[in-house]
C-alpha cells in the first residue's frame, strides 16, 4: 500500500508519541510531562506551586500536552486550519488544499519528531473517570520553533527572535469553558517551555484595527502576505488578539498598526524558578476568581470549582 506524503515530506501519523517525559524540578514536588493540570481559574494570592496543588483538587478542565493520537479530538477548525503551517506561495495559483487535515497532521508529526510536544489541549473532566468515551475538547494552544512555521516570515514585524518559541494559535470552544481557560492554557505553555530551557515566548498579535483589512488586493504591500490565506482561514480566526497577549504579560517588541510582535520573557538570567513563578503570578492575577476557593460557581464563572469528594 502506498502511503500518502504531505507537502512537508512526512506521512500523516508518522509520529504517535513524543519523547519520554522529563522530570520537573520544583521545590518539594516532582511533575512530569504526563502530569495533568486540572484548571479552574486563578486563585488569588497563591504562589504557582500552591496553586497547582489546589487546582488538582478542583473539577474543571484537564490540560495536557497534545499527542498525535488525539488529533481527531481537536475542534474541526483546528484540524483544518493551515494558516501557520503552509505558505500559500508554495501552492502556485491554488487557493485551497485538497486535504488540509492531512497537511495539519503531517505538520504536527514533523514538529513532534524534530522538536517535541508543540501544543496543549484542555478537555472536560468526565463525571466517571472509568468511562471510555473521549471527553470533549474545551480549548487548545499551539506553538513551535519559528523555523517550522512558514507563515512567520510573512509578517511585517518578522523575524521572531532567535531565542524564542512562536505561539501560533489558540482556540476556545464557545459556551464550553470559563473565561479564564485561555490564561490556564498559556500558563501550561510557559510551564512546559521553561522546563525545556526556552528563554522567551513570542507571538504575532492582531489589533482591533486589523478588522478593516478585508481585501488583500487593496491592502498595503507589507500586510498583503499576512492576509493571503487558504480555505476558511483568516486573520480574524487564526491570529491571537494582541490585547489578550498583553493582558497575560506579553510586551510589544515590534510595534505595528495591525500585526505587532509581542514577547514574554521566560528567563532574564535571574534563575528559571523565580522567572516562571513571576510570569505565572502575572497570569493568575488576570484570572482571579471573585469567590473563595471551593465556592460554588456563578453565572459569570462557568468553570465548575466544586471539591472532589
Does residue 102 have a pLDDT over 90? yes
Sorted by where each starts, the structural domains of the chain and their CATH numbers stand as 32-285 (3.40.630.30)
- DSSP letters spanning 174-234: TTTS-TTHHHHHHHHHHHHHHHTT--EEEEE-B-GGGGG---GGGS-TTTHHHH---TT--
Residues of the chain with pLDDT > 70, as a percent, come to 63
Higher pLDDT, 88 or 130: 88
| Residue 27 Cα to chain centre, angstroms | 26
pLDDT at 208: 97
Q: What is the pLDDT of residues 247-263, one digit of tens each?
A: 999 999 999 999 999 99
Sequence-separated contacts (24+) of 191-194 with Cβ below 8 Å: 191/276, 191/280, 192/33, 192/65, 192/117, 192/120, 193/143, 193/165, 193/266, 194/266, 194/267, 194/272, 194/275, 194/276
pLDDT over 70 (residue 45): no
- Write the DSSP string, 27-80: TTEEEETT--EEE-SB-TT--HHHHHHHHTTB-SEEEEE--GGGGGGS-HHHHH
Q: At what angle do helices 181-195 and 272-285 cross, to 10 degrees?
A: 170
> What pLDDT digit, counting tens, does each position of 2-35 carry?
344 455 554 454 444 333 333 322 222 233 334 4
Average pLDDT, the chain: 75
pLDDT of residue 163: 95
- Express each pLDDT in 175-221 by its tens digit: 755 678 999 999 999 999 999 999 999 999 999 999 999 888 889 99
Residue-level pLDDT at 278 = 65
- 1 has pLDDT over 50: no
Residue 289 is placed in which grid cell?
476568581
φ, ψ at 305 (rounded to 5°): -135, 40
Whole-number pLDDT of residue 33: 39
pTM: 0.71
How much is the average pLDDT of 78-102?
87
Closest CA to 305 of 280, 286, 282, 287: 287
Q: Where residue 97 falls among pLDDT bands split at 50, 70, 90?
A: confident
Comparing 125-139, 142-156, 197-211, the range with the smallest average pLDDT is 125-139
Find the range with the poorest average confidence among 72-86, 94-108, 260-274.
Answer: 260-274
Q: Mean pLDDT throughout 104-117?
A: 96
Q: What is the pLDDT of residue 178?
A: 64
Predicted confidence at residue 138, as pLDDT, reads: 93
Q: Per residue in 249-298, pLDDT tens?
A: 999 999 999 999 999 999 753 344 555 566 667 666 665 544 454 444 44
Amino acid at each position: 500500500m502506498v502511503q500518502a506524503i504531505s507537502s512537508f515530506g512526512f506521512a500523516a501519523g508518522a509520529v504517535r508519541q513524543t519523547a519520554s517525559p522529563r522530570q520537573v524540578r520544583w521545590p518539594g514536588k516532582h511533575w512530569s510531562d504526563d502530569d495533568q493540570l486540572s484548571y479552574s481559574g486563578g486563585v488569588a494570592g497563591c504562589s504557582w506551586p500552591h496553586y497547582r496543588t489546589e487546582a488538582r483538587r478542583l473539577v474543571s478542565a484537564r490540560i495536557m500536552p497534545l499527542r498525535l493520537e488525539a488529533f481527531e479530538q481537536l475542534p474541526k477548525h483546528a484540524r483544518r486550519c493551515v494558516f501557520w503551517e503552509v505558505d500559500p506561495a508554495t501552492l502556485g495559483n491554488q487557493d485551497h488544499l485538497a486535504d488540509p487535515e492531512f497537511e495539519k497532521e503531517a505538520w504536527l508529526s514533523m514538529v513532534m519528531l524534530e522538536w517535541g510536544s508543540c501544543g496543549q489541549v484542555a478537555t472536560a473532566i468526565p463525571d466517571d473517570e472509568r468511562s471510555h468515551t473521549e471527553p470533549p475538547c474545551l480549548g487548545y494552544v499551539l506553538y513551535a520553533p519559528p523555523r517550522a512555521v512558514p507563515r512567520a516570515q510573512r509578517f511585517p514585524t518578522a523575524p521572531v527572535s532567535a531565542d524564542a518559541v512562536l505561539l501560533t494559535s489558540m482556540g476556545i470552544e464557545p459556551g464550553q469553558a470559563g473565561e479564564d481557560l485561555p490564561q490556564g492554557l498559556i500558563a501550561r505553555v510557559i510551564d512546559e517551555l521553561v522546563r525545556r530551557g526556552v528563554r522567551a515566548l513570542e507571538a504575532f498579535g492582531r489589533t482591533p484595527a486589523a478588522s478593516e483589512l478585508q481585501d488583500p488586493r487593496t491592502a498595503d504591500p507589507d500586510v498583503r502576505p499576512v492576509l493571503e490565506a487558504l480555505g476558511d482561514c483568516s486573520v480574524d480566526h487564526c491570529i491571537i488578539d494582541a490585547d489578550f497577549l498583553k493582558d497575560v504579560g506579553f510586551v510589544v517588541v515590534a510595534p505595528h498598526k495591525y500585526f505587532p510582535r509581542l514577547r514574554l520573557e521566560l528567563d532574564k538570567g535571574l534563575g528559571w524558578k523565580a522567572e516562571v513563578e513571576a510570569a505565572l503570578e502575572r497570569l493568575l492575577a488576570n484570572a482571579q476568581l471573585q469567590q473563595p476557593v471551593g465556592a460554588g460557581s456563578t453565572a459569570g464563572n462557568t468553570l465548575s470549582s466544586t471539591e472532589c469528594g
